[in-house]
Amino acid sequence: MDYFSDAGHPAVIARLLHDYDIRPKKGAGQNFFSDPAMLDAIADAGLVGKNDWVLEIGPGLGALTQRLAAKGKQVIAAELDRDLLPVLAETTGGFDNVKILQRDFLRMQEETLEELFRDAETIRVVSNLPYNITNEAVQKLLLSELPIASITLLLQKEAALRILAEQGDKQYGITSMMNRYYAESEILFDVPGECFFPRPGVTSAVIRMIRRQPRPCPSCGKEKLWKTARACIAMRRKTLTNNLKAAGFPEEDIHRAFDECGLDGGIRGETLGIDMIVRLAEKLHDA
């Protein structure tokens, strides 16, 4: 990619922001990548092959989009900020395998995504994810029925560590539970603040999540599984018994499920591993 077309080069970023009168929106978590070498590393980490389709969330100025388009078969990018569409038209206009949608990814229905990716055998998600939608976006991707093989995201390092949190950790929550159930994940490398414009006050990290294939499905179904999981940790200072009672589960069903799972109802939900939560959900919904 030459100097004049690389939307990740600092001089090109300055020109684009000036020409289109763009000011990064702090509330939208807009920090544009300004390090071409690091962008190359992230694109490589995405494992995109020539037959893969790519989903990108929040393409910004299109620097990562350009690199993904050069690697994959088709890139579909969802950008919420309407002001960035003219910039993206310029920076990705030279690629015939890029489709930019002015959409809020979190509001896109699964049926819409299935239609967009109906011809895709394998999907790679690669994104410099807006920081303010991290948990919701990761959960949506993990729960999706799309043929997503991997999810490679640039996140605040704190958010990446939260996704990888283990049972008993104070950061252990629904997103980390889903991660452990649906994926094998690791932090690949850190990304310092000087790689962005404007420079954020935090360190970022690239995390890669390899989706388990086939994904295990509990007998109670995934909707009831995650409803139960959320109930288990709804109030962290309460016992598992009290949390489940507050969620509306009959006390006799709770005690029966605990007996069958070999659980002490006085423990707290965040101490449970995902395998035990699956088993507990199945027993509670068997009732």
Do 32 and 142 lie in one domain? The reply is yes
Q: Does residue 249 fall inside a structural domain?
A: yes
Q: Which of 211, 230, 247 finishes a domain?
A: 211
Q: Does residue 1 fall inside a structural domain?
A: no
Q: Does residue 277 fall inside a structural domain?
A: yes
pLDDT at 3 over 70: no
List alpha helices for the chain, DSSP H. 10-19, 36-45, 63-71, 85-91, 110-116, 134-143, 157-163, 174-182, 222-232, 240-246, 251-261, 274-286
Do 239 and 279 lie in one domain? The reply is yes
Do 90 and 119 lie in one domain? The reply is yes
Provide the residue range defining the domain that includes 234: 222-286
pLDDT category at 287 given cuts 50, 70, 90 is low
CATH number (domain holding residue 55): 3.40.50.150
Q: Which of 211, 244, 275 finishes a domain?
A: 211
Do 58 and 196 lie in one domain? The reply is yes
pLDDT at position 147, please?
96
The per-residue pLDDT for range 154-181, each reduced to its tens digit, is 999 999 999 999 998 889 999 999 999 9
Q: Which of 189, 211, 233 finishes a domain?
A: 211
Do 199 and 272 lie in one domain? The reply is no
Please indicate, yes or no, whether the overall pTM of this predicted structure exceeds 0.75.
yes
Do 59 and 145 lie in one domain? The reply is yes
Q: Provide the domain count of the chain.
A: 2
Do 88 and 14 lie in one domain? The reply is yes
Q: Does residue 217 fall inside a structural domain?
A: no
Round to whole Å and give the CA distance between 130 and 84: 14
Q: Does residue 131 fall inside a structural domain?
A: yes
CATH number (domain holding residue 261): 1.10.8.100
pLDDT at 34 over 90: yes
Stronger pLDDT, 131 or 282, i.e. the higher one: 282
Do 261 and 207 lie in one domain? The reply is no
| Those residues with Cβ within 8 angstroms of residue 1's Cβ, 6 or more apart along the chain or in another chain | 36, 66, 67, 70
Do 181 and 206 lie in one domain? The reply is yes
Do 199 and 124 lie in one domain? The reply is yes
Round to whole Å and give the CA distance between 275 and 249: 20
The per-residue pLDDT for range 65-120, each reduced to its tens digit, is 999 999 999 999 999 999 999 999 999 999 999 999 999 999 999 999 999 999 99
Do 167 and 107 lie in one domain? The reply is yes
